[in-house]
Amino acid sequence: MNGLGGLNKSPNGVVIGLVQLQLPDVKTKADLTAQTARVVELVGKARRNNAGMDLVVFPEYMLHGLSMDTNPEIMCDLDGPEVAALKAACIEHDIWGCFSIMEANQNGNPFNSGIVIDNTGEMQLYYRKLHPWVPVEPWEPGDLGIPVIDGPKGCKLSLIICHDGMFPEMAREAAYKGAEIMLRTAGYTAPIRESWRFTNQSNAFCNLMVTANVCMCGSDGTFDSMGEGMICNFDGSTIAHGTTGRADEIITAEVRPDLVREARVHWGVENNIYQFGHRGYVAVKGGAQDCPYTYMTDLAAGQYRLPWEDEVKVTDGTSCGFDAPTRTYAPVRKEAAE
């Protein structure tokens, strides 16, 4: 059920629009300004497209394209003109928006950041990509954790970015902190199409959580992004999917956070997000609540090491033209507020 793409909106529904944005080629500050204006135009298109839309979601790299250029001239700040324009667009069109920026960082490489702005122009969610797509991406690893906010119509909303979604721990963390809808924005290209599809579905099913996912679309003359706007219900089924690869198409659906809440409370079989921490509760009162997973305890102790660790060949970005780093990781910020 998706309410005919959100055209028929129920009292408890949240209508999401996923913009399969045309992949830009941005090299200069003027290019960045022009691309920001294009995104602002499409916020207006989203509102005109569906009067009941609550949240419009733009893909990763919406302002910068896929060049991986870290030129300071085209990096953004939260208090800069690009974010100000996005805030103004959300106010003008009375809509929540999810946006992507490459964020300047005085202490190292830029961050790949995502923000959610409400319909009054206030930034409600701020996230920095935890898992840059190595060895291709040069971005600083995120240091804000995975924030979960009260989104449109009171839904619990979170955001991860692209490669983050290939780690099941990311979706589990979002759900564990209460997310009913998890957004995943991406710049992926066609070779990732199948893994994109099944991870979007598995992230939903394994956590009884709606996932709303969108990539850049079209070609910049070098790269070909795939669009693939995709909304998955909490049972893992796909309720909307942009399969045409048409740039700037907006894929829409109504989702029901109230039914997510109902399933999380009432499901017995496959209530995996609960059962993960209550193993075997049929046999043991309350279930076993230990941590039997070596990779978790080792990671927490700073001792994560694979049996084949010494055989891994690609361990920095030199294969993609980046200098080997010399800095060690030192997070500046504490985890984002819940």
Q: Which residue is associated with the tokens 């119509």?
A: 153
- Tokens representing residue 64 in the block: 């910068």
For this structure, is 82 an active site residue? no
User: How do beta strands 238-241 and 230-232 pair?
Assistant: antiparallel
Catalytic residue among 129, 156, 173, 249: 129
| Contact status, residue 215 vs residue 196, Cβ threshold 8 Å | yes
Half-sphere exposure of 238 (CA within 13 A, CB side): 15
Of 129, 56, 44, whose CA–CA distance to 89 is shortest?
44
The CA dihedral of 296, 177, 122, 215, to the nearest 10 degrees, is 60
Phi, psi of 77 (to 5 degrees): -125, 155
Of the candidates 211, 238, 215, the one whose C-alpha atom is nearest the C-alpha of residue 226 is 215
Active site residue 129: yes
For residue 60, indicate whether it is catalytic.
yes
Q: Which of 76, 162, 217, 232 is catalytic?
A: 162
Q: Between β-strands 156-161 and 148-150, what pairing exists: parallel, antiparallel or unpaired?
A: antiparallel
Q: E strands along the chain, which residues?
A: 14-19, 55-57, 96-103, 111-117, 123-128, 148-150, 156-161, 181-186, 210-215, 217-219, 224-226, 230-232, 238-241, 250-255
Contacts of 101 (CB under 8 A, 6+ apart): 63, 64, 76, 82, 83, 113, 114, 115
Q: List, by residue number, the catalytic residues.
A: 60, 129, 162
